[in-house]
Each structure stands twice: as structure tokens, then as C-alpha cells.
Amino acid sequence: MKHKIVVEPPGQNARTIIDTMSRNCYNSTFVYPLVIEDGEGCYIKDVDGNVYLDFTSNIGSSPLGYKHPDVMDVLKEYSNTGVHKIAGQDFYCREHAELAERLLSIVPKGFKAFLINSGAEAVENAIKIAYRRMGALPGVSCINAFHGRTLGALTFTFSKPVQKSNFPELPVKRIKFCSSDDDPEIDAVENLLKENKVAFIITEIVQGEGGYNVASKRFIKMLREYTSKYGVPLIIDEVQSGMGRTGRWWAFEHYGVEPDIMAVAKALQVGATLYRRELDPGQQGVLSSTWGGGSRIDLAVGAKIIDVIRRDNLLSNAERIGGIILKALRDMADDSNGKVVDVRGIGLMIGVEFISKEVRDSFIINAFKHGLLLLPAGIKVIRVIPPLIIREDEVQEGVELMYEVLKVI
């Protein structure tokens, strides 16, 4: 399969659906008028028959692409299940147990799991676990962080004003997210913890919504060193970067550190808060989620995704193909006449920074019209996050499309 534009998007079928949604639904974060109907491999088909090469993976939530045979087998297996959604914190099911077991096999030893529904909910429960241990003290997050939009997680999000305006906050302190080892503010965490009692520090390894900024190794190691020294839980948000996206199961593995608590979602199909056993609240009802784990189907697909990533060596593929994309996009930057100012990332989590927001936005829209799906991050960055199954010929196809788009913006 290759990209194919048969009707200038949006076609008539797409316009009809978009008009209906515009009349009846809040205009949230829609980027361009794509109305999805189907998909296969690294490609998505819209309701008018256009086929797009997908470099978004639905923000990482489709790590095996679309219509993957192993996932389709799971869906077929559950097509006759009468009870596919349960109150997952009130009743038990085999799928919940199996996903927890799979998940704990790929995280540091000595962790426990709490399965919920989304990344924001994973962060909410991560901070609750820390508060339960440390008390109602301020939490600490980074400038340009994104940890979710529910009110607790939103306190520690700090990427765009529109996400926070007029919403209340929990007590919070902020530090700079350092992407260079010689950043003059890299030791801010030491001074902060010397002078303040805090409940936790939460950080991403690669900032997602904040612009695909990659943390310096020294910065992350200092966070781990000083949170350990002062007895403060370190929460690492792996909602977007986890499950093989960076060529390791978890982005923190590139840094030689381990968190005390971690938030997981997207590629897992459900949300999960993972924490060291000694941080367990030890009392029933402290943590709860009516639809914990989403549904039995989501749980079963999540477990299958872990199995396939392991079986098919997709961590290695992410690392190898990510290196190919990174080099190709840096070559593109050199040929962009200054339109592209930086390319950065780890594995298949790559950000391309443009000279301005206007140029970035034009690039995304024109890429869509040419048959390539991309999404924004930060102020003037696009994220390149194709499915972990992507092949070299598909990379070549995508890069050629990006070169075509550069000519018209």
C-alpha cells in the first residue's frame, strides 16, 4: 500500500461528517479535516477513499499500526464475549491479571500496577500515591511539561496558556527542563530540595506536547540523585514515550535511572500507574477507577501489543529506523533554506522544529493534502512518530513527501 489522494480533502463524505460535528460538538484540538474510516499497516484511509501515510500513530496509541493480524485475532476472539466492559475495580477478570503481569515483566523489579483508563488518570494516581506518602506539600514539574488535562494533572502541565487559563491549581513549583548538560539552571533541583519540602518531582524524558525536547542525561541523573537524597518520589511520565517508542521499553532506560512512580498509557491501550511496592497505600479505596482498565478488549489488546513488540524485535526496529529517519530529516533541514531549524529525538519519537509557527502549520496542512499525516507539538514543532512496525521503504516514501511539501510552503 502507498499513499493515494483520489479526492482533494476534505471530500464530500468528510465534509458531511465534519459539519455534523461542528454543529453538535465542542471544537477541541482538531488539526485538519481528516475523517478516518479504516487503516492497514502504516496507512489510514478516509471516508472518501484517500489513503495517507501515518506519521502520527494517533499520538503513539497505535504502535502496531492498523489491522495488525495479531490484534485482529484478539478482536475476533472477543466478538462473541457478552461482558466486554466491567467495573474493573469492583470485579476481577483474567485480562486485567494478564496485562498487569505482562506490564510488570518490562518495568524495574519490585513494582506494582494500578490499571485505569487514560494517561491523565495515570498521572492523577501517580501524584495521589506520592501525596499519600509525603503529605499535602507542593509538587514540582518542569517548564513546557504536559501531564494531562484533568485538574490535578493540569497543575503540573505547563506547555500552552490556553490549556490552563482560569483553572485552579494545586500547590506547585517549577524548574527548567534542561536539554543541555551545560545549562546554567541544571542544578536548580538541588537548591529547590535544600530549601523546600515537596511531595514529588514529575518529569517527562522527552517532552511531548511541550515540543519534543529531549532531556539532558545530566539533568535526569541529577533529578534522580537529589530526589533520592532528600527522600522525594520521582515520577516519570512515560505516557507518550513508553512501550518501545524510543527503542527501549521506557525512555528512562536511556539514562540509567529508575523512577519511584511512572505513568503509562497510549500504546498500552489503557492507563497504568506503576509504583514501587513500598509506596503502596496499603488501604483499600485510596485509589479507585470505576472503569479501571477500560474494557476486557482493551486489556487483551494491550497484553498482545507487549507480546508482539517482544516477539518481533520492535524495540530494535524503532532504534534502527529511528536513526534512519533522524539522519534523513537532518539532511532535509540542511536543504530547507532555513525553514527547519532543528531535528531531535530518540528512536521513533522525533521532533522537527521550524523557523516559525506559521511555517510549521503550513507544513502540516500541506503534508495532509499530499497524503502524509503529521501532528504539531509545542509552538513550532512537528512530531514524527510512525508505528513501530514501519519499514525503510515507508520511511523513504514519507521523507520524499516532506521534501515535496517544503517546496510549496
How long is the chain? 409
Same domain, 355 and 266: no
- In terms of Cβ atoms closer than 10 Å to its own Cβ (0-12, 13-18, 19+), residue 115 is buried
CA-CA distance, 58 to 271, in Å (whole number)?
A: 16
Using only C-alpha atoms, the chain has a radius of gyration, in whole angstroms, of: 21
Predicted confidence (pLDDT) per residue in 221-262, tens digit: 999 999 999 999 999 999 999 999 999 999 999 999 999 999
CB atoms within 10 A of CB 27: 7
Q: Which three cell numbers stand for residue 325?
A: 529517519
Contact 359, 339 (CB under 8 A): yes
Same domain, 338 and 269: no
pTM value surpassing 0.95: yes
Same domain, 125 and 169: yes
Same domain, 398 and 282: no
Contact 373, 367 (CB under 8 A): yes
Specify if 110 maps to a domain: yes
Specify if 16 maps to a domain: yes
CATH no. for residue 319?
Answer: 3.90.1150.10
Given a cut of 90, whether residue 291 has pLDDT beyond it is no
Q: Read off the pLDDT of each residue in 52-62 and give the average, rounded to a whole number.
A: 98
Any idea what DSSP says for residue 214? Answer: B
Same domain, 120 and 213: yes
Specify if 290 maps to a domain: yes
Q: What percent of the chain has pLDDT over 90?
A: 96
Overall number of domains in the chain: 2
pLDDT at 75: 97
Predicted confidence (pLDDT) per residue in 340-391, tens digit: 999 999 999 999 999 999 999 999 999 999 999 999 999 999 999 999 999 9
Given a cut of 80, whether residue 294 has pLDDT beyond it is no
Given a cut of 90, whether residue 403 has pLDDT beyond it is yes
Segments in 335-387 forming alpha helices (H): 357-370
CATH no. for residue 273?
Answer: 3.40.640.10
**Is the peptide bond prior to 10 cis by the omega test (within 30 degrees of 0)?**
yes
Specify if 64 maps to a domain: no
Same domain, 184 and 227: yes
CA-based nearest residue to 50, from 19, 17, 8: 8
| pLDDT band at residue 292 under the 50/70/90 scheme | confident
Contact 208, 234 (CB under 8 A): no
Which domain covers residue 317, as residue numbers?
Answer: 12-54+313-408
Predicted confidence (pLDDT) per residue in 149-196, tens digit: 999 999 999 998 999 999 999 999 999 999 999 999 999 999 999 999
Q: Read off the pLDDT of each residue in 98-116 and give the average, rounded to a whole number.
A: 98
Q: Read off the pLDDT of each residue in 64-78 and give the average, rounded to a whole number.
A: 98
Specify if 63 maps to a domain: no
Same domain, 187 and 140: yes
Specify if 115 maps to a domain: yes
Any idea what DSSP says for residue 41? Answer: B
Q: Read off the pLDDT of each residue in 217-224 and give the average, rounded to a whole number.
A: 98
pLDDT at 88: 82
CA-CA distance, 111 to 182, in Å (whole number)?
A: 33
Cα distance from N-terminal residue to C-terminal residue, the chain: 27
Specify if 7 maps to a domain: no
Predicted confidence (pLDDT) per residue in 109-131, tens digit: 999 999 999 999 999 999 999 99
Same domain, 85 and 222: yes
Same domain, 236 and 351: no
CA-CA distance, 73 to 297, in Å (whole number)?
A: 11
Specify if 66 maps to a domain: no
CA-CA distance, 64 to 124, in Å (whole number)?
A: 27
Same domain, 299 and 328: no
Same domain, 277 and 142: yes
Same domain, 279 and 137: yes
Contacts 24+ apart (CB under 8 A), 102-108: 102/302, 102/303, 102/306, 102/307, 103/264, 103/268, 103/272, 103/274, 103/306, 104/274, 105/306, 106/249, 106/250, 106/306, 107/249, 107/250, 107/262, 107/274, 108/258
Q: Which three cell numbers stand for residue 241?
A: 514515550
Q: What is the mean pLDDT of the chain?
A: 97
